[in-house]
Amino acid sequence: MHLIDAHQHYWRTDRGDYAWLRDADASLQRDFLPADLAAQRIAAGVAGSVLVQAAATEAETRYLFELARADRSILGVVGWVDFEAPDVAARIRPLVRDGDGLLLGLRPMAQDHPDPDWLARPALDAAFDCLQEHDLAFDALVRPPQLPALQQRLRRERELRVVLDHAGKPDIAHDRFDDWAPRIRELAELPKVCCKFSGLLTELAPGMPARALDHWVDHLFACFGPGRLIWGSDWPVLTLRSSYAHWLELARAFAHRHAPHALERIFSRNALAFYRPRRAPDFLDAAGDIP
Protein backbone atom coordinates (compact mmCIF):
# COMPACT_ATOMS: atom_id res chain seq x y z
CA MET A 1 0.00 0.00 0.00
CA HIS A 2 1.25 3.48 -0.87
CA LEU A 3 1.49 5.92 2.04
CA ILE A 4 1.33 9.72 2.30
CA ASP A 5 1.57 11.52 5.62
CA ALA A 6 -0.85 14.44 5.30
CA HIS A 7 0.12 16.18 8.53
CA GLN A 8 3.56 16.56 10.04
CA HIS A 9 5.76 19.33 11.38
CA TYR A 10 9.40 20.34 11.47
CA TRP A 11 10.76 23.17 13.59
CA ARG A 12 14.06 24.74 14.60
CA THR A 13 13.73 26.34 17.99
CA ASP A 14 16.38 29.02 17.56
CA ARG A 15 14.15 30.69 14.98
CA GLY A 16 12.26 32.03 17.99
CA ASP A 17 8.68 32.20 16.70
CA TYR A 18 7.17 29.04 18.23
CA ALA A 19 5.49 30.80 21.13
CA TRP A 20 3.39 27.78 22.09
CA LEU A 21 6.52 25.68 22.68
CA ARG A 22 7.34 27.66 25.83
CA ASP A 23 4.42 25.96 27.59
CA ALA A 24 4.73 22.61 25.82
CA ASP A 25 6.14 19.41 27.23
CA ALA A 26 9.92 19.62 27.59
CA SER A 27 10.38 16.74 25.15
CA LEU A 28 9.09 18.97 22.33
CA GLN A 29 11.33 21.93 23.15
CA ARG A 30 14.11 20.92 20.77
CA ASP A 31 14.69 20.84 17.03
CA PHE A 32 12.73 18.38 14.91
CA LEU A 33 14.08 18.33 11.36
CA PRO A 34 13.91 16.04 8.31
CA ALA A 35 16.94 14.03 9.37
CA ASP A 36 15.21 13.21 12.66
CA LEU A 37 12.27 11.55 10.92
CA ALA A 38 13.82 10.14 7.75
CA ALA A 39 14.68 6.67 9.04
CA GLN A 40 11.27 6.18 10.66
CA ARG A 41 9.42 7.51 7.62
CA ILE A 42 11.36 5.29 5.21
CA ALA A 43 10.96 2.23 7.44
CA ALA A 44 7.21 2.86 7.53
CA GLY A 45 7.08 3.11 3.73
CA VAL A 46 5.81 6.70 3.70
CA ALA A 47 6.63 8.15 0.29
CA GLY A 48 5.90 11.80 1.02
CA SER A 49 4.37 14.22 3.46
CA VAL A 50 2.54 17.51 3.77
CA LEU A 51 4.40 19.90 6.04
CA VAL A 52 2.11 22.01 8.25
CA GLN A 53 2.97 25.31 9.92
CA ALA A 54 3.77 25.38 13.62
CA ALA A 55 4.37 29.13 14.09
CA ALA A 56 2.05 32.06 13.50
CA THR A 57 4.45 33.89 11.18
CA GLU A 58 4.94 34.22 7.46
CA ALA A 59 8.67 33.83 8.10
CA GLU A 60 8.12 30.27 9.27
CA THR A 61 6.14 29.49 6.12
CA ARG A 62 9.11 30.65 4.06
CA TYR A 63 11.41 28.53 6.23
CA LEU A 64 9.23 25.51 5.43
CA PHE A 65 9.64 26.30 1.73
CA GLU A 66 13.41 26.10 2.26
CA LEU A 67 13.08 22.69 3.89
CA ALA A 68 10.85 21.47 1.08
CA ARG A 69 13.32 22.61 -1.57
CA ALA A 70 16.04 20.60 0.17
CA ASP A 71 13.94 17.48 0.79
CA ARG A 72 11.92 15.94 -2.03
CA SER A 73 9.86 13.87 0.40
CA ILE A 74 8.03 17.09 1.37
CA LEU A 75 5.22 17.36 -1.19
CA GLY A 76 4.16 20.83 -0.11
CA VAL A 77 3.47 23.24 2.72
CA VAL A 78 0.40 24.40 4.61
CA GLY A 79 1.48 27.85 5.75
CA TRP A 80 0.24 30.73 7.88
CA VAL A 81 -0.92 34.27 7.26
CA ASP A 82 -2.81 36.74 9.44
CA PHE A 83 -6.38 36.22 8.23
CA GLU A 84 -7.51 39.52 9.79
CA ALA A 85 -4.80 41.68 8.22
CA PRO A 86 -6.31 44.52 6.12
CA ASP A 87 -3.80 43.65 3.39
CA VAL A 88 -4.28 39.89 3.64
CA ALA A 89 -4.50 39.40 -0.14
CA ALA A 90 -1.22 41.25 -0.58
CA ARG A 91 0.33 38.90 1.98
CA ILE A 92 -0.97 35.70 0.42
CA ARG A 93 0.04 36.49 -3.16
CA PRO A 94 3.80 36.70 -2.46
CA LEU A 95 3.67 33.43 -0.53
CA VAL A 96 2.00 31.77 -3.50
CA ARG A 97 4.59 33.27 -5.84
CA ASP A 98 7.62 32.50 -3.69
CA GLY A 99 6.44 29.00 -2.90
CA ASP A 100 6.41 28.27 -6.64
CA GLY A 101 3.91 25.46 -6.28
CA LEU A 102 4.91 24.40 -2.76
CA LEU A 103 2.15 26.36 -0.97
CA LEU A 104 -0.80 23.97 -0.79
CA GLY A 105 -2.94 25.70 1.81
CA LEU A 106 -3.13 27.99 4.82
CA ARG A 107 -3.88 27.42 8.47
CA PRO A 108 -4.63 30.18 10.98
CA MET A 109 -4.18 28.78 14.49
CA ALA A 110 -7.84 29.27 15.31
CA GLN A 111 -7.73 26.90 18.28
CA ASP A 112 -5.74 29.54 20.17
CA HIS A 113 -8.16 32.42 19.53
CA PRO A 114 -10.14 33.44 22.64
CA ASP A 115 -13.31 34.13 20.63
CA PRO A 116 -14.98 30.81 19.67
CA ASP A 117 -16.84 32.64 16.90
CA TRP A 118 -13.70 34.07 15.32
CA LEU A 119 -13.86 32.03 12.11
CA ALA A 120 -17.31 33.41 11.31
CA ARG A 121 -16.23 37.07 11.52
CA PRO A 122 -16.76 39.10 8.32
CA ALA A 123 -13.25 40.50 8.81
CA LEU A 124 -11.95 37.17 7.54
CA ASP A 125 -13.94 37.23 4.29
CA ALA A 126 -11.10 38.68 2.22
CA ALA A 127 -8.72 35.93 3.35
CA PHE A 128 -11.14 33.20 2.37
CA ASP A 129 -11.80 34.90 -0.97
CA CYS A 130 -8.07 34.94 -1.65
CA LEU A 131 -7.68 31.28 -0.67
CA GLN A 132 -10.20 30.32 -3.31
CA GLU A 133 -8.75 32.71 -5.87
CA HIS A 134 -5.43 30.86 -5.62
CA ASP A 135 -7.00 27.39 -5.25
CA LEU A 136 -5.48 26.90 -1.80
CA ALA A 137 -6.83 24.51 0.78
CA PHE A 138 -7.91 25.55 4.27
CA ASP A 139 -6.74 23.55 7.29
CA ALA A 140 -9.18 24.09 10.13
CA LEU A 141 -7.35 23.81 13.45
CA VAL A 142 -10.21 24.08 15.91
CA ARG A 143 -11.57 22.63 19.11
CA PRO A 144 -15.21 21.56 19.67
CA PRO A 145 -16.45 24.99 20.89
CA GLN A 146 -15.27 26.49 17.58
CA LEU A 147 -17.02 23.97 15.34
CA PRO A 148 -20.29 26.00 15.08
CA ALA A 149 -18.37 29.06 13.80
CA LEU A 150 -16.50 26.87 11.33
CA GLN A 151 -19.80 25.52 10.08
CA GLN A 152 -21.16 29.05 9.66
CA ARG A 153 -18.09 29.99 7.64
CA LEU A 154 -18.32 26.94 5.41
CA ARG A 155 -21.97 27.52 4.65
CA ARG A 156 -20.83 30.80 3.08
CA GLU A 157 -17.75 29.31 1.40
CA ARG A 158 -19.34 26.48 -0.53
CA GLU A 159 -16.43 26.00 -2.95
CA LEU A 160 -13.67 26.09 -0.35
CA ARG A 161 -11.57 22.95 0.05
CA VAL A 162 -11.37 22.39 3.80
CA VAL A 163 -9.94 19.71 6.02
CA LEU A 164 -10.65 19.44 9.73
CA ASP A 165 -7.36 18.93 11.53
CA HIS A 166 -7.17 16.14 14.10
CA ALA A 167 -10.91 15.45 13.92
CA GLY A 168 -11.63 18.77 15.64
CA LYS A 169 -9.49 17.88 18.68
CA PRO A 170 -12.19 16.15 20.74
CA ASP A 171 -11.84 16.07 24.51
CA ILE A 172 -11.26 12.34 24.71
CA ALA A 173 -9.47 12.55 28.04
CA HIS A 174 -12.68 13.72 29.75
CA ASP A 175 -15.01 11.61 27.56
CA ARG A 176 -16.91 14.65 26.25
CA PHE A 177 -18.21 12.73 23.27
CA ASP A 178 -21.62 14.42 23.26
CA ASP A 179 -20.02 17.87 22.98
CA TRP A 180 -18.24 16.80 19.80
CA ALA A 181 -20.17 14.10 17.96
CA PRO A 182 -23.30 16.03 16.85
CA ARG A 183 -21.20 18.94 15.57
CA ILE A 184 -18.99 16.56 13.59
CA ARG A 185 -22.05 14.96 12.07
CA GLU A 186 -23.39 18.37 10.99
CA LEU A 187 -20.04 19.43 9.58
CA ALA A 188 -19.74 16.21 7.61
CA GLU A 189 -23.03 16.98 5.87
CA LEU A 190 -21.13 19.64 3.90
CA PRO A 191 -19.78 17.65 0.94
CA LYS A 192 -16.44 19.43 0.48
CA VAL A 193 -15.29 18.94 4.08
CA CYS A 194 -12.60 16.32 4.69
CA CYS A 195 -11.21 15.23 8.05
CA LYS A 196 -7.71 14.32 9.13
CA PHE A 197 -7.39 10.95 10.79
CA SER A 198 -4.64 12.26 13.04
CA GLY A 199 -3.89 13.73 16.44
CA LEU A 200 -6.15 11.37 18.38
CA LEU A 201 -3.58 9.64 20.57
CA THR A 202 -2.44 12.91 22.08
CA GLU A 203 -6.01 13.63 23.20
CA LEU A 204 -5.94 10.58 25.48
CA ALA A 205 -5.31 11.12 29.16
CA PRO A 206 -2.05 9.63 30.45
CA GLY A 207 -2.53 5.91 30.96
CA MET A 208 -5.65 5.63 28.80
CA PRO A 209 -5.41 2.65 26.42
CA ALA A 210 -5.66 3.07 22.65
CA ARG A 211 -8.93 1.11 22.67
CA ALA A 212 -10.51 4.19 24.30
CA LEU A 213 -10.46 5.69 20.80
CA ASP A 214 -12.84 3.10 19.37
CA HIS A 215 -16.05 5.06 19.90
CA TRP A 216 -14.57 8.24 18.46
CA VAL A 217 -13.08 6.55 15.41
CA ASP A 218 -16.37 4.73 14.76
CA HIS A 219 -18.07 8.11 14.59
CA LEU A 220 -15.51 9.55 12.18
CA PHE A 221 -15.96 6.67 9.76
CA ALA A 222 -19.75 6.86 10.08
CA CYS A 223 -19.73 10.59 9.30
CA PHE A 224 -16.98 11.00 6.70
CA GLY A 225 -16.53 7.52 5.31
CA PRO A 226 -13.30 6.37 3.65
CA GLY A 227 -13.63 8.91 0.84
CA ARG A 228 -13.09 11.95 3.08
CA LEU A 229 -10.74 10.72 5.81
CA ILE A 230 -7.05 11.57 5.38
CA TRP A 231 -4.33 9.95 7.50
CA GLY A 232 -1.62 12.04 9.13
CA SER A 233 0.95 11.41 11.82
CA ASP A 234 1.09 14.81 13.58
CA TRP A 235 4.76 14.05 14.21
CA PRO A 236 6.54 15.20 16.37
CA VAL A 237 3.60 16.12 18.62
CA LEU A 238 2.72 12.44 18.29
CA THR A 239 5.85 11.55 20.26
CA LEU A 240 4.13 12.70 23.45
CA ARG A 241 2.12 9.46 23.35
CA SER A 242 3.53 7.10 20.75
CA SER A 243 5.98 6.36 17.98
CA TYR A 244 5.48 7.03 14.29
CA ALA A 245 5.32 3.30 13.52
CA HIS A 246 2.86 2.52 16.31
CA TRP A 247 0.35 5.21 15.32
CA LEU A 248 0.53 4.09 11.69
CA GLU A 249 -0.06 0.48 12.73
CA LEU A 250 -2.97 1.48 14.96
CA ALA A 251 -4.54 3.71 12.30
CA ARG A 252 -4.27 0.95 9.72
CA ALA A 253 -6.00 -1.44 12.10
CA PHE A 254 -8.85 1.04 12.63
CA ALA A 255 -9.18 1.64 8.90
CA HIS A 256 -9.06 -2.07 8.09
CA ARG A 257 -11.91 -2.68 10.51
CA HIS A 258 -14.11 0.01 8.95
CA ALA A 259 -13.07 0.12 5.30
CA PRO A 260 -10.73 -2.73 4.36
CA HIS A 261 -11.11 -2.07 0.63
CA ALA A 262 -10.34 1.65 0.89
CA LEU A 263 -6.98 1.77 2.64
CA GLU A 264 -5.28 3.33 -0.39
CA ARG A 265 -7.76 6.20 -0.25
CA ILE A 266 -7.31 6.92 3.44
CA PHE A 267 -3.53 6.59 3.48
CA SER A 268 -2.57 8.26 0.20
CA ARG A 269 -5.07 9.07 -2.54
CA ASN A 270 -7.35 11.28 -0.46
CA ALA A 271 -4.41 13.42 0.65
CA LEU A 272 -3.15 13.85 -2.91
CA ALA A 273 -6.59 14.61 -4.28
CA PHE A 274 -7.31 17.13 -1.54
CA TYR A 275 -4.01 19.03 -1.52
CA ARG A 276 -3.21 18.68 -5.25
CA PRO A 277 0.57 18.94 -4.89
CA ARG A 278 2.59 19.62 -8.02
CA ARG A 279 5.33 17.49 -6.53
CA ALA A 280 3.56 14.14 -6.78
CA PRO A 281 5.25 11.04 -5.40
CA ASP A 282 6.68 8.56 -7.86
CA PHE A 283 3.92 6.00 -7.42
CA LEU A 284 1.25 8.22 -9.01
CA ASP A 285 1.26 10.11 -12.26
CA ALA A 286 -1.53 12.36 -11.03
CA ALA A 287 -3.54 12.77 -7.86
CA GLY A 288 -6.92 12.29 -9.47
CA ASP A 289 -10.22 13.02 -7.79
CA ILE A 290 -11.29 11.70 -4.43
CA PRO A 291 -13.10 8.43 -5.32
CATH number of the domain that residue 263 is part of: 3.20.20.140
Give the model's pLDDT for residue 289. Answer: 35
Q: Is the residue at 125 inside a domain?
A: yes
Q: How far apart are CA 164 and CA 194, in angstroms?
A: 6
Give the model's pLDDT for residue 290. Answer: 34
| pTM (predicted TM-score) | 0.95
Helix ranges (H only) for the chain are 34-44, 58-70, 88-99, 125-133, 147-156, 177-188, 214-224, 244-258, 263-264, 270-275
3-class DSSP state of 106 = strand
Q: Is the residue at 220 inside a domain?
A: yes
Q: How far apart are CA 92 and CA 159, in angstroms?
A: 19
| 199 to 5, 70, 94, 259: CA distances (angstroms) | 12, 27, 31, 20
What is the DSSP pairing of strand 74-79 with strand 137-140?
unpaired
Range of the domain at 264: 3-275
Give the model's pLDDT for residue 110. Answer: 96
With a cut of 50, which residues of the chain have pLDDT below it? 285-291
Number of domains observed in the structure of the chain: 1
Q: Is the residue at 281 inside a domain?
A: no
Q: CB within 8 A of 73, min separation 6: which ones?
A: 34, 38, 41, 46, 47, 48, 49
Output the CA angle 256-207-252, nearest 5 degrees. 10
Give the model's pLDDT for residue 283. Answer: 65
Q: Is the residue at 164 inside a domain?
A: yes
Q: Is the residue at 109 inside a domain?
A: yes
